[in-house]
Structure 1
Amino acid sequence: MRSLVFLLEEPSAQDALEGFLPYLLPDGITVKYLVFEGKQDLEKRMTRTLRAWRQPNTRFIVLRDQDSGDCRVVKEGLLERCREAGRENETMVRIACRELEAWFVGDWVAVASAFDNPKLLKLSKKANYRDGPDGLDYPVEELRKHIPQYQKRDGARRIGPYLRKETNASRSFQVFVDAVLHLVAE
């Protein structure tokens, strides 16, 4: 496998992955990002995009926020689109529960480093961040509570390079990392 293509619902996901993936991926893997204009655009266009892809030795990862939907229903809908495109064996679908920012709230070490604010480290000990950041309804609001100037794209750019599986309490982040590692090991 030489190429990983990420189908993403929003630019901030690309911003975070561009910072994080160089730490995770071995040399020799080409990464491409296809960023859509929200979840509806992703869902509308992904079948056609996957079907039209002609580069050999490519694996795909679809990443979408859960938002208020049922995680299993959202994932099954995306998997159905992969089947329609004939790419179900080359594609993994991963859901950021509830939203991408839960990955950041799950790793206050990364957030503290990104914003050069050691006081944020103590938040990693709080139960709702340590035990279940994926269950927070609005993780972006949690970030804004502690970093009033927080903006999604700037935050993703800053935090992405510091994200680590070892320090992240987000289960959906862990599952995402495992999926990426599985695909590059094929």
Structure 2
Amino acid sequence: MKHLFAVELGDDGALLAALEPWRAAEFLAHMERGREHIGRYTGLADVVTDLESARSYLVSYADKAATDTGRLYGIWLDGLLVGGVLFRTMDVAGGLAEAGCWLEPAAVGKGLVTRAVRVIIDWAVEERGIHRVEWWVAADNAASIAVAKRLGMTRDGVLREHYPHRGRRLDMEIWSVLAPEWRAAR
């Protein structure tokens, strides 16, 4: 499938592009393939359960893009939607954004999230003037913590039993990178 505006994430056929409401069926199919894996640490798999909820979720991010309070991007590998990255929140005036991600199992271990998040942090810092990018992650999500480390983020602390998820409360680590650190590392 062609993308009007896409960023190549390397020479492996991976693309990063806006994940828009008209892609709801594709998003739902992706969620069905990865639901159990994606749902281990995030509520996304429990929110996107049918075509209506998939579209509603994508519309919510289209609204955030329109109001400059968030962004949502899909990651495609060989034409198949396999994951995504986002700014769950974005406060341009305050210079703060929270980045996040998800992947279906077939896409794990290829560096896709790290490459995609680098692209969106570059954009946020250089184009939008974001000063602090946060990464909130369940304390037992080793893969996501590894991404934060690869991105040069610093672990700011732990919110103990902060996130209620599927009948338990997860400790959440907060990692961050500041614009001067991001620029210096590049």
Tell me whether the two structures share a fold, i.e. TM-score over 0.5.
no
* TM-score normalized with structure 2 length: 0.28
Task: Choose between structure 1 and 2 for higher RCO, CA contacts under 8 A separated by at least 6 residues.
Answer: 1
| Higher relative strand content | 2
Q: Given the two structures, how large is their TM-score scaled by the length of structure 1?
A: 0.28
